[in-house]
Chain A
Amino acid sequence: MISVRIKKQFRGRAEGRSLAIGDATRDARRDGFALLAEFDAPPGVTILFGPSGSGKTTTIKSIAGIIRPDEGHISINGHTLFDSAQGINVPIRERGTGLVFQNLALFPHMTALGNVEFATSGLSRPERRRRALELMERLRIKHTAERRPSEVSGGEAQRVALARALASKPRVLLLDEPLSAIDEATKQDIIGDLKMINRDLRLPVIYVTHNRDEAVMLGDYLIVYEQGQVVAAGEPLEIFGAPVVGSVARLTGVENLFEGVVLQRDAGAGTMTVRIKDESGACELDVPLGKEAQGANVMVAVRSGDILLATEELRQTSARNILPGEITAIEERGARSIVRVKSGVSWVVSVTWQAVSELKLAQGQHIWLAIKTNSCYLIAD
């Protein structure tokens, strides 16, 4: 269990806009930025999820001891690393955290093996080399042993950094957006490695990302950040599947989010009909029965992956909402395709690219949307 309760205020500048052009944008953004993070991460892989600048990196750097919070408490398995009330601030080198920096921070003047070996300690020289090679073999990068960091691929460099962090026998592995610059296939590989590490070495992992696919594939527990605060915590599918806070819905990628008015309630069927609208139009939708009265304003969220597309009108289906519409755009996003459909309001639908080619979907085509009542979430904003 990793327990974090920290507060950190980044000093604002006296003359609000006196930043020179050369100033790092990061510093500019931190102008008066405050972090207030509170969470308990269970063993397993914990994802710190949120947009850049929301305080995720500051949190893991605080755990590693590189950033000192203004006040609060940080402990790993009951072992206190920082406690402002008791005046405890364990030095970085005694914290036993394996941190993989966003830019990896590999030592450019050492070979890959040299990097990994450097992180080991307390053993004889041949022992250290053996341990380093063992870790590199496990992560399938033994062939890069004699190469410099500048001479290995992005995925290999990532694994060298991972092996190096593991070589120091950390109590927790901290990863700062490690896969943001890695291609999809390599990403899957490394995610597999991380799961293996977490399982075999029984090493808790804290993983910072703003990518929801990584979060879902890897995470046992999810903590959502927004503007320096934790706004939600729980199992990834739970949080992504049923976002109850509007900001979480936007952050976790619920693409269809509409304002609406309750037209009528059907307590017997457990549904109610909502008229939703956006800037392009309006339509009616059956949603689960909520506590809102007739005429009340509500927000409705539908995940893009929960909408079915049909080229002909569906007649025999359990889906309550069958909406006719027209495809306005198709965009490829890796393995998924995003189909934009105008049906009263503008919908975003996510399907596989195979579906696009098999259904011969094209811009301007007439199409039906099928949405289950239970795929519509009412949002408290």
Chain B
Amino acid sequence: MRELCYLPEAMKNIDWFPLALSFRVALIATVLALIVGVALAWLLARRRFPGREMLDAVVTLPLVLPPTVLGYYLLMLLSRNSPVGRAIYTATGLQLVFTWQGAVIAAMIGALPLVVKTSRAAVESVNEQLEDAARTFGKSEWQIFWRITLPLSSRGIIAAAMLAFARALGDFGATLMIAGNIPGRTQTAAIAIYDATQSGHDDYALTLVIILSVIVLTLLYATNKLVGRTSLQ
């Protein structure tokens, strides 16, 4: 506990970059994971098509694969030697390997299963009869999604976003594999903690650990409160 007394002192000349980067990465990754994840969740909850459960399994994979394996796949997929990586580079000029944008992709893939699982349950909890009713009024599937399904599953989707943000904030393995550990460029808080303990900067590591823990704990607590409340229906 002695170290805690030094905390205010330590925070004065602390390097805030890794934390700021983690927030930026987690925020963008959450937004992307939400867009992709809610679309996938709707597809899995509301459409019958061959390979539906297979798709669910593939989307769940990042939850159980070792992060290094995930990072390896991403590295293979996104490097400028691969067709996908080359296509992204020619289309947008974005170089994803060893950049903070690569860290966004890694964090997003890690958060995706949480978004899909939580949002799918939220969409499935919406009474399909309401959507059928809207169809009889001549509404398009797009209108029904935005006016009926999304508002009625919003609580679950907000919970999904908070979980995704918490997960993205703490991504380590996959981020290290694809974005590397370049201080001031791609070093996120999670990686900086590892770096600091390895190089004996224990005060710095502890500061980051406590800040991250408090944020994630708050997010999880808020998520539980939100999901636990009786739903609108």
A residues whose Cβ falls under 8 Å from a Cβ of B: 64-66, 91-99, 101, 103, 105, 107-109, 118-119, 121, 164-165, 167-168, 170
Contact = CB atoms under 8 A, between A and B. Distances in A.
Question: Lowest 8 A-B CB distances belong to which pairs?
Answer: A92-B135, A119-B137, A168-B137, A105-B133, A105-B129, A93-B138, A99-B136, A109-B151
Interface of B: 127, 129-130, 132-140, 147-148, 151-152, 232-233
A118 B152 contact: no
Contacts, number: 59
9 contacts: A64-B136, A66-B136, A93-B137, A93-B138, A101-B129, A107-B148, A118-B147, A167-B137, A170-B136
A120 to B, nearest CB: 8
Nearest to B141: A93
Interface of B is mostly: helix
Contacts of A96: 138
Contact of B138 (A66, A94, A101, A164): A94
B129 A92 contact: no
A164 B134 CA distance: 10
B132 A66 contact: yes
A93 B148 contact: no
B130 A107 contact: yes
A108 B129 contact: no
A98 B137 CA distance: 7
A93 B151 contact: no
Contact of A168 (B129, B130, B138): B138
Contacts of A105: 127, 129-130, 132-133
B148 A168 contact: no
A97 B151 CA distance: 25
A82 to B, nearest CB: 15
A91 B132 CA distance: 11
Nearest to B231: A108
Contacts of A101: 129, 132-133
Contacts of A167: 137
B3 to A, nearest CB: 50
B136 A92 contact: yes
A118 B137 contact: yes
B144 to A, nearest CB: 9
Contacts of A66: 132, 135-136
A167 B138 CA distance: 11
B192 to A, nearest CB: 43
Task: Find the residue from A97, A118, A164 having the highest chain B CB count within 10 A.
Answer: A118
A93 B232 contact: no
Nearest to B151: A109
A94 B147 CA distance: 19
A125 to B, nearest CB: 14
A169 to B, nearest CB: 9
Task: Find the residue from A105, A119, A168 having the highest chain B CB count within 10 A.
Answer: A105
Nearest to B129: A105
Contacts of A94: 138
A93 B133 contact: no
Contacts of A165: 136
Given A64-B132, A91-B135, A118-B137, 18 more contacts: A65-B136, A66-B136, A93-B140, A95-B136, A98-B136, A103-B129, A105-B129, A105-B130, A105-B132, A107-B130, A108-B152, A108-B233, A121-B137, A121-B138, A167-B137, A168-B136, A168-B137, A170-B136
Nearest to B127: A105
A99 B132 CA distance: 10
Contacts of A103: 129
Contacts of A93: 135-140
Contacts of A119: 137
A92 to B, nearest CB: 4
A57 to B, nearest CB: 12
Task: Find the residue from B135, B137, B140, B152 having the highest chain A CB count within 10 A.
Answer: B137
A167 B127 CA distance: 22
B225 to A, nearest CB: 20
A91 B140 CA distance: 11
A113 B100 CA distance: 48
A94 B233 CA distance: 28
Nearest to A97: B136
A124 to B, nearest CB: 17
Task: Find the residue from B132, B133, B138, B233 having the highest chain A CB count within 10 A.
Answer: B133
